[in-house]
Structure 1
Amino acid sequence: MSTYKAIKLVKRPAGSIGPELFEVEEKTVPEPAEGEILIRQTYMSLDPAMMGWMSEDTDSYIPRVELGDVMRSSGIGEVIASKHPDFNEGDQVMGLFGWQEMVLTDGTGVNKVDKSLPPEMVLAVFALPGLTATQGLYGYGHPRAGETLVVSGAAGSVGSIVGQLAKADGLRVIGVVGTDEKADWIVNELGFDGAVNYKTDDLGAKLDELAPDGIDVYFENTGGPILDYVFERMNAHGRIVVCGLIADYTSENPRPGPNWMRIIKKRLSIQGFTMPDHWDKTKDLQAKLTPYVQKGQIKYRAHVLDGLESAMSGLGLFLTGDNKGKLMVKL
């Protein structure tokens, strides 16, 4: 009897993320009933948001993953059996497939993907990272040519796309990263105007050097001390887009927020957002992103781990900053 592997969440994180939180289970490969498809997952996305999904929090934008459930994730795969009128064997598809080698589904939330597109590119650009970057930047950042944008987590999957989009639109773009290698990549490969290494630079002095006219748009992916320095340098009518705060995801004492008086003085707009509010815009967001990709204005790099079980330790790379580019698992 054929089996496949799935990984369940069995403990809540308490300051660290590792294999101790998960359990591997062998399952029997199911047969699709009428209206169902069986998908073999080929690539699985790892995203910082997963740390929020694993937490105790029940007051969030998406239900947490319950203990004993297969860990949630998006992925790309191939239909290997179909009794669904809209899907054929061999179709390349994308959806929320979870940490498992196979998934049986009625097709809800599953989208076909052009088979000519490499799976790594799909997950790195046209899936969650690209959608998040495009919605956040244009939906809330309202970038204008000639302005200055700072993006944290700038070498990550979302931040690198935000910066490249803004640069293509004529903004001055500064990225915040955690290593000199990442700084070199975003400046010399992606075309950013400058980089701040939050671990080694004098943050205030470096921002003053790179953004002498202040900051108009801040795209926040990480939180941490850089937020305070950027906040103090925001220009009047500046826009702050809050996408992620990975520095606080596993912290028992999250950092306090900035002084609200500056929000009044500078008439700042601050917007938190998550992509689940905007799934209905997926096709429009991909359509907006596509011309930039076709013109070669969006580059990416994929950090690929091998095998389903590598996800259990791989997720911790977000906390150490050792991931380089879009983190994913090849099954």
Structure 2
Amino acid sequence: MSSNKEILLVNRPNDRKIGSHLFETREQDIPSPGKGEILIKQTYMSLDPAMLGWMSEDRESYIPPVELGEVMRSSGVGEVIESNNPDFSVGDKVMGMTGWREYLVSNGEGFNKLQPGITEEMALCVFALPGLTATTGLYNFGEPKEGETLVVTGAAGSVGSIVGQLAKADGLRVIGVVGSDEKADWIVNELGFDGAVNYKTDDLEAKLTELTPDKIDVFFENTGGPIQHHIFNRMNTHGRIVVCGMIADYQSENPAPGPNWIPLIKKRINVRGFAMPDHWGEVPQLVAKLSPYVQQGKIQYRSHMVEGIESAVEGLQMLFSGDNKGKMIVKL
């Protein structure tokens, strides 16, 4: 019988470093679905920055950690290869929380069928966590208005690139913060951003001042890092700051201090942190909001594929080093 590879979390990243020492591979027989269940063969698996938090011991986060000895948590896309559930047929492509494994059995709860014309890659790049996160943060909390200026960090990433494109489609001036000239070129010349700041090489204050002559109304924060303070200092009165992620600090023993709060009072700035688990009940509305932009060709994406479930650790390391170019996906 063919085997099913699973990757278990066996150690906590106490040194905040990601490596093979955190995981263990287990091979078992492919499971069989019971009454009302389906057997899914995973084909594409998503890697996301949130995974570092899921691996930690933090019990006060927005989602419980993965317990030691459990299959590592992730979302993915797969094909139904056996079905004892009338809601699913063999051959259906489905998306949901799959975990780091090649096969899984589910009762179907939490899995959605991919609509015709939606590829696995598009599903994970746009309609999975990246697109849902971008849509939630931008519209629920960013409150973008035509003619305003938005700055998004991690702008070439899976969430940031969609935030910027949605804002551009709505008539905002959009500036993206990235970590390489190649990424700057992509968001400006391919995605249509109005400008880019390379946080590794540019004079941050001077470049940001040049690109935001009317200052900043919406700041969509994905990364943290020194540029956060420069962006904060250029916020307009009644500006909105949406805090989605702080990837620059996730592996730091001493996260950087945030901006001074006095300008929050003077400028009446609204700062809102959010996490998607609070909004799972809104997914149908979020997809309905996002879909027209996709159908009209206003949302482009790119993925960075690595092959084989064994490459998941390598892919996750690339995600945190910034070496990936696009949504990080494991092709199984």
- TM-score by length of structure 1 reads 0.99
Task: Name the counterpart of 1:37.
Answer: 38
Task: Name the counterpart of 1:220.
Answer: 221
Q: How big is the shift at 1:87? A: 0.9
Give identity over the alignment, percent.
Answer: 69
Separation in 2 of the partners of 1:168 and 1:195? Answer: 17
Separation in 1 of the partners of 2:320 and 2:167? Answer: 26
Aligned residues: 331
Deviates more, 1:11-20 or 1:121-130: 11-20
SS state at 1:316 partner:
helix
Separation in 1 of the partners of 2:155 and 2:258? Answer: 21
Q: How big is the shift at 1:80? A: 0.5
Task: Name the counterpart of 1:46.
Answer: 47
Q: How big is the shift at 1:2? A: 2.6
Separation in 2 of the partners of 1:141 and 1:27? Answer: 46
Task: Name the counterpart of 1:83.
Answer: 84
Contact 1:215–1:238, Cα closer than 8 Å, also in 2: yes
Alignment of 1:312-331 (within 5 A): 312-331=313-332
Separation in 2 of the partners of 1:246 and 1:4? Answer: 32
Structure 2, unmatched stretches of 5+, are: none
Task: Name the counterpart of 1:148.
Answer: 149
Separation in 2 of the partners of 1:170 and 1:18? Answer: 43
Contact 1:317–1:323, Cα closer than 8 Å, also in 2: yes
SS state at 1:315 partner:
helix
Task: Name the counterpart of 2:98.
Answer: 97
Alignment of 1:277-316 (within 5 A): 277-316=278-317
Task: Name the counterpart of 1:157.
Answer: 158
Q: How big is the shift at 1:11? A: 1.2
Contact 2:19–2:313, Cα closer than 8 Å, also in 1: yes
SS state at 1:305 partner:
strand
SS state at 2:182 partner:
helix
Contact 2:154–2:178, Cα closer than 8 Å, also in 1: yes
Task: Name the counterpart of 2:110.
Answer: 109
Contact 2:150–2:167, Cα closer than 8 Å, also in 1: yes
Q: How big is the shift at 1:117? A: 1.5
Task: Name the counterpart of 2:68.
Answer: 67
The letter for the 1-side match of 2:251 is: T
Task: Name the counterpart of 1:262.
Answer: 263
Task: Name the counterpart of 1:16.
Answer: 17
The letter for the 2-side match of 1:288 is: K
Separation in 1 of the partners of 2:251 and 2:61? Answer: 15
Deviates more, 1:67-76 or 1:110-119: 110-119
Separation in 2 of the partners of 1:295 and 1:117? Answer: 14
Q: Deviations over 1:248-290 (max 9, x none)?
A: 1111111111101010001000000011110111111111111
Deviates more, 1:109-118 or 1:220-229: 109-118
Separation in 2 of the partners of 1:228 and 1:50? Answer: 26
Residue 3 of structure 1 pairs with residue 6 of structure 2: no
Separation in 2 of the partners of 1:273 and 1:15? Answer: 23
Q: How big is the shift at 1:55? A: 1.1
Deviates more, 1:18-27 or 1:70-79: 18-27
Cα RMSD (Å): 0.8
The letter for the 2-side match of 1:199 is: K
Q: How big is the shift at 1:197? A: 0.3
Separation in 1 of the partners of 2:299 and 2:203? Answer: 30
The letter for the 2-side match of 1:9 is: L
Residue 229 of structure 1 pairs with residue 197 of structure 2: no
- After TM superposition, what 4+ stretches of structure 1 lie above 3 angstroms from structure 2? none
Separation in 2 of the partners of 1:164 and 1:228? Answer: 24
Separation in 2 of the partners of 1:30 and 1:232? Answer: 55
Residue 139 of structure 1 pairs with residue 103 of structure 2: no
SS state at 1:75 partner:
strand
The letter for the 2-side match of 1:206 is: K
Separation in 2 of the partners of 1:59 and 1:18? Answer: 24
Contact 2:31–2:103, Cα closer than 8 Å, also in 1: no
Q: How big is the shift at 1:116? A: 2.9
Contact 1:101–1:308, Cα closer than 8 Å, also in 2: yes
Separation in 2 of the partners of 1:42 and 1:188? Answer: 32
Separation in 2 of the partners of 1:318 and 1:81? Answer: 34
Q: Deviations over 1:87-146 (max 9, x none)?
A: 111111000000000011111111111243111011001111000000100000000000
Task: Name the counterpart of 2:181.
Answer: 180
SS state at 2:66 partner:
coil
The letter for the 2-side match of 1:2 is: S
Deviates more, 1:309-318 or 1:165-174: 309-318
Q: How big is the shift at 1:15? A: 2.8
The letter for the 2-side match of 1:126 is: F
